[in-house]
Amino acid sequence: MSSGLAYFITLVIVYILVVWGALIPFRAGLLYNGTVYVMAIGGYTAGFLSKTFGLNFWLCIIAAIITGLIFGFIPALGFARTNGIVTAISSMALIFIIQSIIKNIDFLGGTRGLRGIAKVPALPWFAIIILIIFGAFLYRLFNSRIGRAWEAIATDPQMAQTLGVDTRKMTVIALTLSSVFAAVGGAVFAFNIRVIYPGTFSFTFLLNVMTMLFVGGRFTQWGVIISAPLLWSINVYMPEAVQKLSNYIFAGLLIIVLMLRPEGLVTRKMILSVKNFFKGLFKKKARETV
Amino acid sequence: MEQTNTLLKIENLSVYYGPICAVKKIDLEVKQGEIVAVLGANGAGKSTMVNTIIGLMKAKTGSIQFDGKELTKMRTDQIIQSGISVVPEGRGMLSEMTVMENLQMGVYHHKVDFNSNLEMIFSYFPRLKERQWQKAGTLSGGEQQMLAIGRSIIGGPKLLLMDELSLALSPLYVDNIFKTLVQLRNEKGFTILLAEQNARKALQYSDRAYVLDLGKTVMDGRSSELMDDPFVQKAYLGA
Amino acid sequence: MELFLAQLVSGLSTGGIYALLVLGMNLITLVRNVVHHGFSHTCIFTMAVGWLVYNKTGMPWLAFLAMFAAGVLVTVLSEPLFRPLSKRGADLETIVLAMGIGIILSELIVNFFNSGQVLSFNDEMKIFTTKFQVGAITVSVASIVALVACVVIAIIISTYLFKSSEGRAMRAMAQNLRVAKMLGVPFGKTGVLGFLIAGLLAACIGVICIMCLGYCNAEMGDSFATKAVILMLFAGQGDIKGGILSSILMGVVEAMALAYLPGRWAEAIFYGFMMVIIIIKPNGLFARKAKN
């Protein structure tokens, strides 16, 4: 695998993980912009441990999961009380807070950035393993009791409450799990890029995440697997002139999709029909063998 | 009254919520100076009809002629401008605004003399004058209904649509409000279309009535005759 | 004491700018129930347009005219983007949409104006450059003029919203869109009007920022936007008077924090404090009861 391709694959997987992180709260009817904030925390945790203590990749990932849990849980307690718009906006402020905190912490490198993160040769393969594990976990999660409770909250919070769903608890769970995904994404990102700055985890990053989420489709976990490589290849494989315009393209696509195709590229209907198609195949085969 | 011209004429109107038919081929006519009631239980299509007349919902087939204009092709604000006022279901208060501001919203489209009309409203509803600087949300239910009526007549409309006027009001208040409506019609010549669940009161105070059931007109005629009709008595008056 | 007074004056004028930003966003909230995160970017964009026109022509009045044109154009053209979402009642999506607009404007500033460098304005654009001495402190005329201008503009717009029939219609739309429609308020026209006034306001903010700050860059859009959006929620969405009050308060608090707190932490403390308040009072500091 060429180094360019390895970098591309790993980065796309990072995006998929973070977009999944943003998708979980959306399942519960929340727009949570804190994913980029937790990503910064996960990235800096992994980077710092790898650089200072020389911990190996998997230990760093586990550490990122733990910090992600903690730093996702704390704001989640607050956001359990607020409504959709307030959550969306004030979680945006988290990005500013974490940027300005990291800038002021000297052992994290401040504005000069954190350098010297260990090189992991098998990073893309590790990333793929992580993607599969987390993807399977997410699939189980969405089809579990918690997943159904989230969907009930997204449809109608008051009705969900009357059905006995503890909306606050479910919000906390959603935001915390979302943070775990984002933190792991951030850790892999740190190993991939190997120099991280506070400014890396910025609004532009958030825009990329949101574009992939909305263009891919925010009702299924599969949309982003298509949209992330597609969109990011604009930044890598397109001619220079187009690459320069990538932020316009992202924002423009986001606006167009929001206006014209609210469900995104991959809709729930599509997933259902694919499932039915496969079910049909298996049934036919079963009949043939009989 | 029979000789005066038709103000509102609905022909063959059908309205759908997605695949569900809420109003099926309704014909209805309101003449100048009449009080016409549209009766029916919950879900009979009364509110849908009102919303379609003012353009909040789109008709699938049929036509609505008002004062020589075809309403089905017009936007809500144009329809209101052409001289129709609504008392919305649930009174539709702008509760964070004062009583005065609510009344001022009533003349948003109409170039009328606000102050003299205000005097007229206050003479019919003196309670509103006492409370004119209060927020509309702090009024009692009856006062809110007065305000809703006041707000709808202050612009001097040609036709008044009243959706569930008697809802959540005490019986005494209902009588009062209907008496005021009749008085308004007699003194100011307003034309009124009532959509009502309270069939007894509506028949008592209206000239003619239509009975809707599941989106279809099942009966129509003079209110006094409908009052004596055995079917109406059984189904709607509980006699 | 001198430091305190000097910070008070500068805090009041920044507070005034915040107040106008929040006012503009509140206008848009009233007519379309949209939290327009990109409004602050629009203000910075008008400044950039002003800078460009001045540098090309050297005529300040033409630059100011261009700023107003740009402000109105950008906001009014963004209205059709919000309309379908607003009709669908998709509040969360509108936030994302507004972010997208903000990013596009920022990118435009970075790419087409001074190749991403800070845009500093000439004295001729700043208009008021004199400073005078009061006791031991220096006060610039610009910040006083800015403060007065903010107060005047805020009064004009509040009067418009509370006394004119179009203003009433806008507030009616915010309270109950359905009833407003039934009273004949045109959804499209009044909305565009609200965006238009917000656009004029954006240009005014641009002019005031030129006077007070004398420079602008693309990053200012993001930081202004976040502050203004948070301030708006802090006061309660759509609360005109509360928004103005809390903005001015915040301007002063921020100036004091810059002077008396360890400088590097001021921003984190500022945002953290606001977030805690918003989480404790989700309906706004001045809200009496929850919106139905």
User: Is the model more confident about C263 or about A220?
Assistant: A220
Mean of per-residue pLDDT scores for chain A: 86
Are C269 and C48 within 8 A, CB to CB? Answer: no
> Exposed (0-12), middle (13-18) or buried (19+): which is B92, by Cβ within 10 Å?
buried
Which residues 6+ apart lie within 8 Å of B76 measured at CB? B54, B55, B56, C181, C182, C184, C186, C187
pLDDT of B106? 86
Average pLDDT over every residue of A253-259: 86
Distances from the Cα of A198 to the Cα of B95, B195, C81, C226, angstroms: 47, 63, 32, 17
- Residues B21-33: what's their mean pLDDT? 87
- With residue B192 as reference, give the H or E element that holds it: strand B191-196
- Total length of chain B: 239
- The pLDDT, as a whole number, for residue A42 is 92
State how far residue B75 is from chain C, nearest Cα, in angstroms: 8
Mean pLDDT calculated for residue range B26-54: 87
* Calpha distance B164→B48 (Å, rounded): 12
pLDDT of the residue at C85: 84
Higher model confidence: residue C146 or residue C266?
C146
Query: Residue B25 pLDDT more than 90?
Result: no
**Does the model's ipTM exceed the 0.90 cut?**
no
Mutate to test the interface with C, among A91, A96, A204 (most CBs of C within 10 A): A96
Instruction: Tell me the chain B residues in contact with residue C183 when contact means C-beta distances shorter than 8 Å.
Output: 80, 86, 105-106, 108, 151
Under a CB-based contact definition with an 8 Å cutoff, are residues A19 and A209 in contact? yes
- Residue indicated by tokens 């022909």: B11
Chain A hits for C271, CB-CB cut-off 8 Å, are 93, 96-97, 100
Model confidence at C4: pLDDT above 90 = no
- Does C291 have pLDDT greater than 60? no
Q: Are C285 and C277 in contact (CB under 8 A)?
A: yes
Identify the burial level of C85 via C-beta atoms within 10 angstroms of its C-beta, where 0-12 means exposed, 13-18 middle and 19 or more buried: buried
Residue B89 per-residue DSSP state: T
Cβ contacts of C276 on chain A, cutoff 8 Å: 78
SS3 sequence, C179-233?
A: HHHHCCCCHHHHHHHHHHHHHHHHHHHHHHHHHHCCEECHHHHHHHHHHHHHHHH
pLDDT value for A288:
60
DSSP code string of B92-110:
---TTSBHHHHHHHHTSS-
Q: Averaged over A148-152, what is the pLDDT? A: 89
Chain C residue with CA closest to A154: the answer is C92
Alpha-carbon span A82 to A59, nearest angstrom: 35
Residue for token digits 């569900």?
Answer: B20
> Is C290 a residue whose pLDDT tops 50?
no
Q: What angle do CA C221, C223, C228 make, to 5 degrees?
A: 90
Q: What does the pLDDT look like over C204-229, one tens digit per residue?
A: 999 998 888 888 888 888 888 888 88
Residue C200 to chain B, least CA–CA distance (Å): 24
d(CA C284, nearest CA chain A) in Å? 10
Supply the pLDDT for residue C9: 83
Spatial CA neighbour of C141 closest among C154, C133, C132: C132
Q: Which residues of B touch C171 (CB under 8 A)?
A: 94, 96-97
Give the whole-number percent of chain A exceeding pLDDT 70. Answer: 97
The percentage of residues in chain B with a pLDDT greater than 90, rounded to a whole number, is 2
- Select from C81, C107, C279 the Cβ nearest to the Cβ of A82: C279
Mean of pLDDT over chain B: 86
Average model confidence (pLDDT) for chain C? 84
DSSP state, residue B5: P
Contact C179 B94 (CB under 8 A): yes
Q: In A161-172, which positions are buried (b, 16+ CB within 10 angstroms) versus exposed (e)?
A: eeeebebeebbb
Structure tokens at C120: 């500093």
Give the gap in angstroms from C-alpha C68 to the nearest C-alpha of chain A.
Answer: 24
- pLDDT of the residue at A237: 80
With touching defined as 3 or more inter-chain CB pairs under 8 Å, the answer for chains A and C is yes
Contact criterion met (CB < 8 Å) for C97 and A248: no
| pLDDT, tens digit, 9 for 90 and up, residues B106-124 | 888 777 788 888 888 888 8
Task: Tell me if C92 and A258 make a contact (CB, 8 A cut-off).
Answer: no
From residue A274, how far is each of A139, A147, C223 by CA, in Å? 16, 21, 44
Q: Do B97 and C181 touch (CB under 8 A)?
A: no
- Helix/strand/coil (H/E/C) assignment for every residue in chain A: CCHHHHHHHHHHHHHHHHHHHHHHHHHCCCCCCCHHHHHHHHHHHHHHHHHHHCCCHHHHHHHHHHHHHHHHHHHHHHHCCCCHHHHHHHHHHHHHHHHHHHHHCHHHCHHHCECCCCCCCCHHHHHHHHHHHHHHHHHHHHCCHHHHHHHHHHHCHHHHHHCCCCHHHHHHHHHHHHHHHHHHHHHHHHHHHCCECHHHCCHHHHHHHHHHHHHHCCCCCCHHHHHHHHHHHHHHHCCHHHHHCHHHHHHHHHHHHHHHCCCCCCCHHHHHHHHHHHHHHHHHHHHHHC
What does DSSP assign to residue C121? P
Q: Is the pLDDT score of B40 beyond 60?
A: yes
- Could you tell me if B1 and B50 are in contact, meaning their C-beta atoms sit under 8 angstroms apart? no
Residue B1: predicted pLDDT: 43
Distances (CA, A) of A244 to A99, A215, A228, A241: 25, 20, 18, 5
Give me the amino acid identity at B15: V
A49 has a pLDDT exceeding 70: yes
CB A40 within 8 A of CB A186: yes
Contact flag for B and A (3+ C-beta pairs < 8 Å): no
Does position B170 have pLDDT exceeding 70, yes or no?
A: yes
Which residues of chain C neighbour B108 with C-beta distances below 8 Å? 165, 168-169, 183-185
Determine contact, residues C30/C176, Cβ cutoff 8 Å: no
Nearest CA in chain A to C274: A90
Residues on chain B touching C165 (C-beta within 8 angstroms): 104, 107-108
**For B97, which of C171, C178, C181 is closest by C-beta distance?**
C171
**Residue C292: predicted pLDDT:** 35
By Cβ distance, the residue of C175, C180, C183 closest to B95 is C175
Residues 6+ apart with CB under 8 A from A70: none
Q: Which of A78, A202, A258 sits opposite C96 (nearest CB)?
A: A258
Token digits for C15?
A: 């507070």
Best residue in C278, C280, C285, C292 for a mutation probing chain A (most A CBs within 10 Å): C278
- Residues of C with Cβ-Cβ distance to A81 under 8 angstroms: 279-280, 282
Name residues 188-227 of chain C within 8 A of B (Cβ): 189
Q: What is the DSSP letter of C50?
A: H
Which pLDDT band holds residue C73 (cuts at 50, 70, 90)? Answer: very high
Residue written as token pair 């004199």: C130
Eight-state DSSP code of residue B132: T
C57 touches chain A (CB under 8 A): no
Distance CA(A78)–CA(C278), nearest Å, equals 9
Return the closest-CA partner of residue B33 out of B132, B158, B121, B133.
B158
| Span C166-194, average pLDDT | 88
> Looking at the predicted structure, is the pLDDT value of residue B3 above 80?
no
Most confident among A64-78, A114-128, A238-252, B85-99 (mean pLDDT)? A64-78
d(CA A208, CA A189) in angstroms, rounded, equals: 14
- Residue to mutate among C83, C173, C176, C179, with most B CBs inside 10 A, is C179
Range with top average pLDDT, A124-128, A152-156, B105-109: A124-128
Residues C193 and C166 sit within 8 Å (Cβ to Cβ): yes
Q: How far apart are CA B36 and CA B22, in angstroms?
A: 21
Give the residue with greater pLDDT, A110 vs A43.
A43
Residues in chain B with CB shorter than 8 Å from the CB of C163 are none
Q: What mean pLDDT is predicted for residues A244-264? A: 84
**A108: phi then psi, degrees, rounded to nearest 5:** -95, 5
Q: Kindly report the CA angle at B202 between B200 and B204, in degrees rounded to 5?
A: 70
- Selected for mutation to probe chain C from B52, B74, B77 (highest C CB count within 10 Å) is B77
* Radius of gyration of chain A from its Cα atoms, rounded to whole angstroms: 19
SS3 B136: helix
Q: Evaluate if residue B4 carries a pLDDT over 70.
A: no
For residues A217 and A263, the answer to whether their CB atoms sit within 8 Å is yes
Q: How confident is the model at residue A33 (pLDDT cuts 50, 70, 90)?
A: confident
Percentage of residues in chain C having pLDDT higher than 70: 96
A262 neighbourhood in chain C, CB within 8 Å: 88, 90, 93
Question: Encoding tokens for residue A157?
Answer: 């919070």
Structure confidence by residue, pLDDT tens digits, B194-235:
888 888 888 888 899 998 888 888 888 888 888 888 888 887
- What does the pLDDT look like over C115-150, one tens digit per residue? 778 888 877 777 777 777 777 777 788 888 888 888
Chain A residues whose beta carbon lies within 8 Å of the beta carbon of residue C285 = none
Give the confidence band of A3 by pLDDT, cuts at 50, 70, 90.
Answer: confident
Q: Is the pLDDT of residue A181 over 90?
A: yes
Q: A184 pLDDT exceeds 90? A: yes
Give the residue-averaged pLDDT of A33-40. Answer: 91
